[in-house]
Each structure stands twice: as C-alpha cells, then as structure tokens.
Amino acid sequence: MMPTDLADLVAAAKGGDRPAFDELVRATYAEAYTLAYRLTGNEEDARDVVQDAYLRAYKGLKRFRGDASFSTWLYRITANCASTHLARRSRDRHEDLADDDTLVDQRPEIDPELRADISAERSRLTEALQSLPPDMRAVVVLRDVYDLPHEAIAAELGITEGAAKVRLHRARRRLRERLFPLRGELREGDGEENVRAV
C-alpha cells in the first residue's frame, strides 16, 4: 500500500522509492509554488525555482535529518533557489529590481478567481508585498508568513542574521506605511495629499 503521510513518504523516498518522492511532490508542489511566487513575483520565475528546488531536494534527500518538517526543509531549499535565481536573473538581464518595481499578479486565469475570493485587504497586502524590492520581500515573507527562524533565513539567503533582521524591520516599516499610513504619512499614489488614517 502507498504510504500517504508525509513522514512515511519521506522515509520511503530516502530508501530509494522513487514513486514515493513523486507522491511527495504531488502533496507539496502547490505550497512550494506559492512560496516561490511570493518570493519571485512572477509565474515563470516561480516555475523555474520550484523545479530547481525539487531537483535539489531529490538529490539531497539523504541529508534530510527530519529535525524540522519536510515542508520547512523544502521552504528553505525553495528560498535558497529563489535567491540564486533572482541574483542570476538580475545579472543576466541587467535589470534593476529596485524599490520602484511593482510586481503584481497579472495571470489572467488566476486573477479573477483570486480577486473574487480574497478580501480587499489581502489583495492590498499581496500587492504591497510585490512592491517591495526582492531582498526585503524574501525576508518578510520567510519570517512573517512562513515563520522561518532568522538563522535559517540568513543561511538560505547568504546574509548575516543581523542583515536579515535589518531587512525585516525595513520591510515591515514599508508595508506598514503603505497599508496603514499614519497621520502625515504619504501613501503611494495619493500625491501630495496627506492620509489621515489614524
């Protein structure tokens, strides 16, 4: 009988059972894709990142000790692949993925459904996240959405723990200013008008 629990699948896959690893992929790829999409900001990059991540997970499965859950381990690999991918893309295309870039989910097949289902606040939050520079977005997504420890985030992004914390605090500040501006703070797109939200 095919094991269905993730831990059983991991154990079977570590023993060389390839169908068990395929089953692991089926069980987790949507979540891995969601993380990759949040980190990269577009579908094409997210797809590449997820493929790289599973390939690395497959090759490195014997090193997975089970200290954390398989999902957490996969998130770390995905974060690392996304970081590498974005750095490479930035070098290759000489793109300036700077503060002003706004990466918004524009997939026609996803947009209408999502926009119909999710609340306006969630939609605004997603857009605000996509408006962050990739290095800030990565840290805040991994810490505040996926709850990874600072140490793991720093390791996967190739930065110090201190740098990870500084990026996190800057990212939170930007998101707060954009989503919940205080008296006297300008909100993006509001021109010179002061927003009196509090």
Residue 60 corresponds to which amino acid? G
Q: Within a 13 Å sphere around the CA of 105, how many CA atoms are in the beta-carbon half?
A: 21
- Beta-carbon contacts of 167 under 8 Å, excluding residues fewer than 6 positions away, are 135, 136, 139, 140, 159
Residue 75 touching other proteins (CB under 8 A): no
Contact 168, 176 (CB under 8 A): no
Query: Is residue 122 a contact residue for other proteins (CB under 8 A)?
Result: yes
Out of 58, 84, 97, 163, which residue is the one contacting other proteins (CB under 8 A)?
58
Q: Give the interface segment with other proteins, choosing from 65-73, 83-91, 173-181, 187-195 (CB under 8 A).
A: 173-181
Q: Using the rule CB under 8 A, is 123 a contact of other proteins?
A: no
- Contact between 49 and other proteins per CB under 8 A: no
The stretch near other proteins (CB under 8 A) out of 45-53, 76-84, 90-98, 151-159 is 45-53
Do residues 8 and 66 make contact, with C-beta atoms less than 8 angstroms apart?
no
Cα–Cα distance list, 19 to 23, 68, 118, 171 (Å) = 6, 23, 35, 41
What is the separation, in whole angstroms, between the first and last Cα of the chain? 59
Q: How far is the CB of 16 from other proteins (least distance, A)?
A: 11
Using the contact rule CB under 8 A, the part of the chain among 84-92, 93-101, 171-179, 187-195 near other proteins is 171-179
- Binding of other proteins by 70 (CB under 8 A): no
> Does 25 sit near other proteins (CB under 8 A)?
yes
Looking at 180, 188, 194, 196, which residue binds other proteins (CB under 8 A)? 180
Among the listed ranges 1-9, 64-72, 93-101, 163-171, the one in contact with other proteins (CB under 8 A) is 163-171
Q: How many CA atoms lie within 13 A of 49 on its CB side?
A: 33
Question: Residue 77 and residue 39: Cα distance in Å, rounded?
Answer: 12
CB of 54 closer than 8 Å to CB of 91: no
Listed residue (151, 139, 147) closest to 175, CA to CA: 139
Q: Is 168 an interacting residue with respect to other proteins (CB under 8 A)? A: yes
In the complex, which residues of this chain contact other proteins (CB under 8 A)?
A: 18, 21-22, 25-26, 29-31, 33-34, 37-38, 43, 47, 50-51, 54-55, 58-59, 109-110, 113-114, 118, 121-122, 125-126, 140, 144-147, 165, 168-170, 172-173, 175-176, 179-180, 182, 198
